[in-house]
């Protein structure tokens, strides 16, 4: 009965694909959603390739799974993946539906690389048993959906099959705690010049020893709880990395990977620590899949890291910068604020990380704003902060609490009027910070900012 | 004038830490004492105007109970003598009788409040709250694994529900008040979101009721109260 139901679900889901194409909805998860509705354990029956790699974690899972897929395809492998769909059960089901025949047998795929939403694990891993789970990191995410990272670590531990090999971030003690009985290897980054020992962030989720609850000391810390820790009371310490990025040199764009005492040179294809982590994660996964360092370095050298969350252009006399800062996510905000404060030059900021979906029928839970390091925005290089959207008053109050002088803050609920309140001072970098929820509106506001930047430039020229 | 923050290394979820930061910004003369799990709590020796306990993970709740259990009787005595204590978010559960969870986890609480919590780990509760406290409007948010099941009105409540979920769905009251123990399930920066309540708390502490950034805080508060009260706005996420 189960198999019959599966076949019926599969055929109807497959039939929906041309229909979606005709109606230009071919990027959706509808086939997978339909299949799961008709057959809730659809993923149990659908054919899978011989090797399955699941990529999960709070940040970097899209970048890592895309890079991994790019390298594998460049090496001639046929990869099944959910790159163009979602990372929940419906997206993963859709990926399998697109790559199986009418009897549900997988066709022409050597390996699956699946990006998996952490919270969706209980719906996926009972049926799709990965050979490897690549866990990028675990941080606080949406309080509403994910509660706290230890809850997510627990969800993963309860869901990941016993035999699956874990590829883990040694610099993140929360992800190191996942599936403790499973076989595992670790990746990490050696001490960097910019590292500190004391936490300067509000979110610091690994302050005590997981074994004895004593205070942990950090040999070095990158941000939040990322770093190398030890407990002076019971001897607990961060694990050693099997794949350690060392001699990271952003100027020369190079690093080495240290493995079993030997060093292997790699090009650095990024200028952010976050993406160095993504690179090392990919290298660790590829080493586990049996690839040589030389081949990996060669393939990575020809791969680009997609910078989808940041773009900039010169418009008139200012540089306009689009900077994604995911709403409801304090950590994403903190990382974006830190990055902006650290960049050279004078800046003007438009803050619109509002949850537009909540604006009319609910009211956004703003607790995350008080977990995010708005203190970085009190930096002297930031000349003006325009708060906008339904939650502009919350931003203003939080900025005042963070030590931003009131005269630098403008509060304007209407996003387009807010764009008009920016100064567009020649030479400034003018940022718009937005989340995924406000993406479409942010792009329209950005277009208005372009017009205003040009207008200001023309006025300046006329004055001159 | 001292404020004791209990276990800041674990009681720091959901922006709860901003309650005491804001209080300190309102009254810079306050001395903030941070007591870790391994320290002897300062309230045992007296001279603490406000004791604060914030949200934690489930493991954090266990550690919180473990650290306070040896001092349970002393804490109870202090509360009955009128010790001012603010408890936010799931920290309330550490003071209750027990917590059960649908994944089999169980926590024996300190039993200071006659209530117990029931968690549903994969069915998170998210709502906003509008209530009353001594004639003041109170606003806040709940983002929790479950509810607390004390009597609807027998134990002294903290807030009366105007819109939102009280101790449990359908309850008319939210939180608990035992003398000056103020325990609410509302998470996050309660004092930042509720400047009139913060003024009241400062007065209870014997501190001047001056608010930091009062204009911005009141503007934000009034906007939120009006928004929550709008008829078409549903409190459930």
B102 inside 8 A of chain A by CB: no
A370 inside 8 A of chain B by CB: yes
Identity of the residue in B14, B145, B236 whose CB atom sits nearest the CB atom of A367 = B14
Q: Report chain B residues whose CB lies below 8 A from the CB of A361.
A: 232-234
Q: pLDDT of A53-72, one tens digit each?
A: 999 999 999 999 999 999 99
Q: Which of 172-211 (A) contact B at CB < 8 A?
A: 202, 204, 207-208
The predicted pLDDT at position A129 comes to 97
Is A401 in contact with B143 (Cβ distance < 8 A)?
Answer: no
Give the minimum alpha-carbon distance from B167 to chain A in angstroms, rounded to a whole number: 18
Is B63 in contact with A213 (Cβ distance < 8 A)?
Answer: yes
Is B15 in contact with A369 (Cβ distance < 8 A)?
Answer: yes
Residue A329: closest CA among chain B residues belongs to which residue? Answer: B14
At residue A306 the predicted structure's pLDDT band, cuts being 50, 70 and 90, is low
- A52, two tokens: 């399955």
A169-173, A244-248, A357-361: the lowest-pLDDT one: A357-361
Give the minimum alpha-carbon distance from A273 to chain B in angstroms, rounded to a whole number: 26
Q: pLDDT of B148-193, one tens digit each?
A: 998 777 668 999 999 999 999 999 999 999 999 999 999 999 999 9
Residue A76 near residue A146 (C-beta atoms within 8 A): no
Is B189 in contact with A363 (Cβ distance < 8 A)?
Answer: no
Give the minimum alpha-carbon distance from B36 to chain A in angstroms, rounded to a whole number: 9
B37 inside 8 A of chain A by CB: yes
Indicate whether B17 pLDDT > 80.
yes
- State how far the Cα of B143 lies from the Cα of B138, in Å rounded to an integer: 17
Q: Report chain A residues whose CB lies below 8 A from the CB of B212.
A: 400-401
Q: pLDDT of A437-464, one tens digit each?
A: 888 999 999 999 999 999 999 998 898 8
At residue A327 the predicted structure's pLDDT band, cuts being 50, 70 and 90, is confident
Instruction: Indicate the Cα dihedral angle B18, B22, B27, B31, nearest 10°.
Output: 10
- State how far the Cα of A11 lies from the Cα of A16, in Å rounded to an integer: 9
- State how far the Cα of A3 lies from the Cα of B135, in Å rounded to an integer: 63
Is B36 in contact with A215 (Cβ distance < 8 A)?
Answer: yes
Indicate whether A269 pLDDT > 90.
no
Instruction: Report the share of chain B in percent with pLDDT over 90.
Output: 97
Domain count, chain B: 1
Give the minimum alpha-carbon distance from A287 to chain B in angstroms, rounded to a whole number: 35
Residue A312: burial class (beta carbons within 10 Å; 0-12, 13-18, 19+):
middle
Of A121, A170, A190, A144, nearest in space to A284 by CA: A170
Q: Which of 90-149 (A) contact B at CB < 8 A?
A: 122, 143-145, 147-148
Residue A387: burial class (beta carbons within 10 Å; 0-12, 13-18, 19+):
buried
The predicted pLDDT at position A460 comes to 87
Mean pLDDT along residues A203-230: 96
Give the minimum alpha-carbon distance from A371 to chain B in angstroms, rounded to a whole number: 5
Q: pLDDT of A183-212, one tens digit each?
A: 999 999 999 999 999 999 999 999 999 999
Is B9 in contact with A371 (Cβ distance < 8 A)?
Answer: no
At residue A432 the predicted structure's pLDDT band, cuts being 50, 70 and 90, is very high
At residue A20 the predicted structure's pLDDT band, cuts being 50, 70 and 90, is confident
The DSSP secondary-structure symbol of A427 reads T
Between residues A309 and B1, the one the model is more confident about: B1
B17 inside 8 A of chain A by CB: yes
Q: Is the dihedral of CA B208, A403, A273, A227 positive or negative?
A: negative
How many beta-carbon pairs below 8 A join chains A and B? 102
Of A270, A264, A271, nearest in space to A287 by CA: A264
Q: Report chain A residues whose CB lies below 8 A from the CB of B232.
A: 361
Best of A397, A400, A406, A437 to substitute, by most chain B Cβ atoms within 10 angstroms, is A397
- State how far the Cα of A23 lies from the Cα of A25, in Å rounded to an integer: 6
The predicted pLDDT at position A27 comes to 66
Q: Is residue B235 part of a domain?
A: no
B192 inside 8 A of chain A by CB: yes
The predicted pLDDT at position A202 comes to 96
Mean pLDDT along residues A217-226: 96
CATH topology classification for A310-463: 3.90.190
Q: Is residue B234 part of a domain?
A: no
DSSP for B65-112, please give it: HHHHGGGHHHHHHHHHTT--EEE-TTHHHHHSSEEEETTS-EEE---S
B215 inside 8 A of chain A by CB: no
Ranges of each domain in chain A: 46-301, 310-463
Q: pLDDT of A372-408, one tens digit each?
A: 999 999 999 999 999 999 999 999 999 999 999 999 9
A400 inside 8 A of chain B by CB: yes
Best of A139, A147, A360, A404 to substitute, by most chain B Cβ atoms within 10 angstroms, is A147
Which domain, by its residues, includes B8? 2-229
A158-172, A264-278, B3-17: the lowest-pLDDT one: A264-278
Residue A122: closest CA among chain B residues belongs to which residue? Answer: B122
At residue A307 the predicted structure's pLDDT band, cuts being 50, 70 and 90, is low
- B228, two tokens: 């929550």
B185 inside 8 A of chain A by CB: no
CA distances from B45 to B66, B71, B73 (A): 20, 12, 14
Residue A94 near residue A80 (C-beta atoms within 8 A): no
B9 inside 8 A of chain A by CB: yes
Best of B15, B90, B188, B190 to substitute, by most chain A Cβ atoms within 10 angstroms, is B15
Instruction: Report the share of chain A in percent with pLDDT over 70.
Output: 99
pTM: 0.95
Is B58 in contact with A214 (Cβ distance < 8 A)?
Answer: no
Best of B189, B195, B223 to substitute, by most chain A Cβ atoms within 10 angstroms, is B189
ipTM over 0.85: yes
Residue B118: burial class (beta carbons within 10 Å; 0-12, 13-18, 19+):
middle
DSSP for B173-230, please give it: EESEEETTEEE---BS-HHHH-HHHHHHHHHHHTS--PPTTHHHHHHHHHHHHHHHH-
H helix or E strand, kind and range, residue A299: helix A293-301
- State how far the Cα of A68 lies from the Cα of A48, in Å rounded to an integer: 18
B21 inside 8 A of chain A by CB: yes
CATH topology classification for A46-301: 3.40.1190
The CATH number assigned to the domain holding B199 equals 3.40.50.880
Q: pLDDT of A144-156, one tens digit each?
A: 999 999 999 999 9
Best of A370, A391, A396, A403 to substitute, by most chain B Cβ atoms within 10 angstroms, is A370
Residue B231: closest CA among chain A residues belongs to which residue? Answer: A361
Indicate whether A41 pLDDT > 90.
yes
The predicted pLDDT at position A23 comes to 78
């Amino acid at each position: 009965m189960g198999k019959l139901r599966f076949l019926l679900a599969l055929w109807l889901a497959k039939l929906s694909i041309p229909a979606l194409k005709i109606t230009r909805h071919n990027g959706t998860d509808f086939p997978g959603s339909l299949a799961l509705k008709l057959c809730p354990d659809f993923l149990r029956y659908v054919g899978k390739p011989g090797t399955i790699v699941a990529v999960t974690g709070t940040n970097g899972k899209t970048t890592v799974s895309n890079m991994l897929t790019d390298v594998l395809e460049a090496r001639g492998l046929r990869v099944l993946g959910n790159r163009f769909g979602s990372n929940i059960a419906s997206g993963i089901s859709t990926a399998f539906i697109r790559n199986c025949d009418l009897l549900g047998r997988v066709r022409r795929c050597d390996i699956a690389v699946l990006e998996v939403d952490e919270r969706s694990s209980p719906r996926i891993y009972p049926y799709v048993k990965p050979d490897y789970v690549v866990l990028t990191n675990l941080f606080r995410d949406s309080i509403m959906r994910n509660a706290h990272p230890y809850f997510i670590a627990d969800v993963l531990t309860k869901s990941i099959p016993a035999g699956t090999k874990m590829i883990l971030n040694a610099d993140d003690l929360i992800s190191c705690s996942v599936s403790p009985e499973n076989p595992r290897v670790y990746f990490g980054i050696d001490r960097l010049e910019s590292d500190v020992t004391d936490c300067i962030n509000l979110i610091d989720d690994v302050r005590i020893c997981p074994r004895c609850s004593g205070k942990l000391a950090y040999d070095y810390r990158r941000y939040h709880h990322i770093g190398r820790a030890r407990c002076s009371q019971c001897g607990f310490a961060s694990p050693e990395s099997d794949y350690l990025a060392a001699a990271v040199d952003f100027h020369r764009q190079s690093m080495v990977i240290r493995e079993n005492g030997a060093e292997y040179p790699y090009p650095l294809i990024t200028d952010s620590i976050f993406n160095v982590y993504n690179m090392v994660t990919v290298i660790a996964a590829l080493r586990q899949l049996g690839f040589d360092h030389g081949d990996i370095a060669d393939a990575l050298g020809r791969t680009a890291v997609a910078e989808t969350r940041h773009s900039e252009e010169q418009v008139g006399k200012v540089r306009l910068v689009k900077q994604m800062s995911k709403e409801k996510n304090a950590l994403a905000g903190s990382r974006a604020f830190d990055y902006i404060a650290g960049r050279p030059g004078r800046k003007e900021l438009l803050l619109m990380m509002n949850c537009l979906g909540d604006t009319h029928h609910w009211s956004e839970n703003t607790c995350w704003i008080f977990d995010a390091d708005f203190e970085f925005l009190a930096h002297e290089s930031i000349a003006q902060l325009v708060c906008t959207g339904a939650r502009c008053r919350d931003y203003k109050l939080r900025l005042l609490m963070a030590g931003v002088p009131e005269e630098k803050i403008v509060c304007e609920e209407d996003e387009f009027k807010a764009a008009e309140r920016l100064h567009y001072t020649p030479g400034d970098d003018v940022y718009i910070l937005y989340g995924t929820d406000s993406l479409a509106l942010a792009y329209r506001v950005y277009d208005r900012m372009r017009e205003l930047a040009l207008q200001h430039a023309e006025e300046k020229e006329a004055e001159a | 004038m001292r404020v004791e923050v209990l276990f800041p290394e674990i009681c720091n979820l959901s922006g709860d830490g901003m309650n005491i930061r804001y209080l300190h910004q309102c009254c810079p003369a306050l001395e903030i004492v941070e007591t870790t799990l391994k320290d002897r709590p300062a309230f045992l020796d007296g001279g603490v105007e406000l004791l604060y306990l914030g949200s934690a993970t489930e493991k954090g709740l266990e550690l919180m109970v473990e650290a306070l259990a040896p001092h349970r009787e002393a804490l109870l005595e202090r509360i009955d003598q009128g010790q001012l204590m603010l408890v936010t978010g799931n920290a309330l559960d550490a003071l209750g009788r027990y917590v059960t969870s649908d994944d089999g986890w169980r926590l024996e609480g300190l039993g200071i409040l006659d209530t117990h919590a029931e968690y549903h780990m994969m069915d998170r509760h998210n709502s906003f709250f509008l209530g009353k406290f001594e004639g003041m409007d109170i606003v806040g948010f709940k983002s929790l694994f479950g509810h607390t099941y004390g009597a609807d009105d027998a134990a002294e409540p903290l807030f009366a529900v105007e819109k939102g979920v009280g101790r449990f769905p359908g309850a008319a009251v939210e939180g608990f008040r035992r003398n000056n123990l103020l325990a609410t399930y509302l998470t996050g920066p309660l004092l930042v979101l509720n400047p009139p309540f913060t003024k009241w708390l400062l007065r209870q502490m014997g501190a001047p009721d001056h608010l930091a950034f009062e204009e911005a805080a009141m503007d934000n508060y009034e906007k939120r109260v009006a928004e929550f009260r709008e008829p078409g706005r549903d409190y459930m996420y």
